[in-house]
Chains A and B, each alone.
Chain A
Amino acid sequence: MTDDKDVLRDVWFGRIPTCFTLYQDEITEREAEPYYSFPEKDLLHCPSKDAIEAHFMSCVKEADALKHKSQVINEMQKKDHKQLWMGLQNDRFDQFWAINRKLMEYPAEENGFRYIPFRIYQTTTERPFIQKLFRPVAADGQLHTLGDLLKDTCPSAITPEDGEKKNQVLIHGIEPMLETPLQWLSEHLSYPDNFLHISIIPQPTD
């Protein structure tokens, strides 16, 4: 004998033509749920692993364009590029750094890279980030510091002499001392894409 479930199943699969009517008191006035759609304005699409690899390699190439006029990355073979990506993808520190260390070298006669690859992210602006040409070494041979970079790119982030600390300057979630040489930060604290991603956030008030 057919029970409710069987009838419902037939309705579900369209085997019984059905017409539904709602009673007035079953109808509630409610705002339609916002339709979830891909946030085109905030996120890039991620169609495939190859797309991520291409994006990562482009970032590494852009960093090397700044550091070495692309000489080091261009001298590498395709298999070296592949090793860089595979090392990152598979979380293989030694595999990654076997290649990445070459990107961290510079000519003996220089004191550092040509320009430092960096991006500064702030909460107080609509701009996606700040990226400019900035040399690691000053004309007099002194190493530029993180503080020097901030003074040049976003001076408002620096606490004045007697002022209250308004911001935190973070790389990898930690606050390096502003006296840290930028060249050292670039060699040792860059992200895998060889960029220094620097966040400036309001000082937490706890």
Chain B
Amino acid sequence: MAEEPESGLQLPPSSTTDGEGPTEVSPETATPEPPSSAAVSPGTEEPAGDTKKKIDVLLKAVGDTPIMKTKKWAVERTRTIQGLIDFIKKFLKLVASEQLFIYVNQSFAPSPDQEVGTLYECFGSDGKLVLHYCKSQAWG
């Protein structure tokens, strides 16, 4: 398994969505990022202080769901769960019709329109939000 970089990798900006699922709310002060191709870029330096735009997310596979080569990501606070699901599905090359479930605290599945920033505020620990993902309903 390749060594993971120290800093989280940057999630591609939301402008490349398929139009399925809810749009993410755009951060008011952000300048529009140029849409990048699927290529992943190293995380940029975050300004110090409480209002980091990006939060660290650690993705863990459940059961026989394929494991992502890169597990640690820096994600915009306003990225929705649906956006994250779409991203993981693309990354794992899952078919659009296949379902993917995401769980927090190995206990509940957040609503697809929920922002990861809110989940990080409420359920993050050690500076990151751990999310389990599964192709079937793992925790009901």
Interface size on A, residues (CB 8 A): 25
Answer whether residue B41 sits at the interface, using C-beta atoms and an 8 A cutoff: no
Chain A residues contacting B107 (CB-CB under 8 Å) are 61, 65, 70, 73-74
Q: Which residue of B lies closest to A62 (CB)?
A: B108
**A131/B118 in contact, CB under 8 A:** yes
**Residue from the list A40, A44, A81, A127 in contact with B111, Cβ < 8 A:** A44
Chain B residues contacting A132 (CB-CB under 8 Å) are 118, 121-122
**Min CB distance, B63 to chain A, in Å?**
18
Answer whether residue B45 sits at the interface, using C-beta atoms and an 8 A cutoff: no
In Å, the complex CA distance between A42 and B23 comes to: 8
Answer whether residue A133 sits at the interface, using C-beta atoms and an 8 A cutoff: yes
**B105/A65 in contact, CB under 8 A:** yes
**A126/B115 in contact, CB under 8 A:** no
Q: Pick the most buried of B21, B22, B78, B104: most chain A CB atoms within 10 A of its CB.
A: B22
**A55/B111 in contact, CB under 8 A:** yes
**A66/B122 in contact, CB under 8 A:** yes
**Min CB distance, A58 to chain B, in Å?**
5
Chain B residues contacting A66 (CB-CB under 8 Å) are 122
Chain A residues contacting B78 (CB-CB under 8 Å) are 127
**B28/A54 in contact, CB under 8 A:** no
**B112/A44 in contact, CB under 8 A:** yes
**B25/A40 in contact, CB under 8 A:** no
In Å, the complex CA distance between A167 and B112 comes to: 29
> A62-B110, A74-B107 given as contacts; is B26 within 8 A of A126 (CB)?
yes
Produce 1/0 per residue, A20-55, CB < 8 A to B. Answer: 000000000000000000001110100000000011
Produce 1/0 per residue, A100-129, CB < 8 A to B. Answer: 000000000000000100000000001111
Chain A residues contacting B32 (CB-CB under 8 Å) are none
In Å, the complex CA distance between A73 and B108 comes to: 11
Chain B residues contacting A81 (CB-CB under 8 Å) are 140
Chain A residues contacting B108 (CB-CB under 8 Å) are 58-59, 61-62, 65
- Chain B interface size, under 10 / 10 to 19 / 20 to 34 / 35 or more: 20 to 34
Produce 1/0 per residue, A49-87, CB < 8 A to B. Answer: 000001101110110011000100110000001000000
**Min CB distance, B9 to chain A, in Å?**
26
Answer whether residue B109 sits at the interface, using C-beta atoms and an 8 A cutoff: yes
**Residue from the list B22, B105, B137 in contact with A54, Cβ < 8 A:** B137
B23-38: which residues lie under 8 A (CB-CB) from chain A?
A: 23, 25-26, 28
Q: Pick the most buried of B21, B105, B108, B111: most chain A CB atoms within 10 A of its CB.
A: B108
**A128/B122 in contact, CB under 8 A:** no
**A133/B25 in contact, CB under 8 A:** no
Q: Which residue of B lies closest to A39 (CB)?
A: B22
> A126-B28, A128-B115 given as contacts; is B140 within 8 A of A57 (CB)?
yes
Answer whether residue B20 sits at the interface, using C-beta atoms and an 8 A cutoff: yes
**B121/A58 in contact, CB under 8 A:** no
**Min CB distance, A157 to chain B, in Å?**
18
In Å, the complex CA distance between A58 and B139 comes to: 9
Chain B residues contacting A42 (CB-CB under 8 Å) are 22
**A131/B121 in contact, CB under 8 A:** yes
**Residue from the list B23, B104, B111 in contact with A65, Cβ < 8 A:** B104
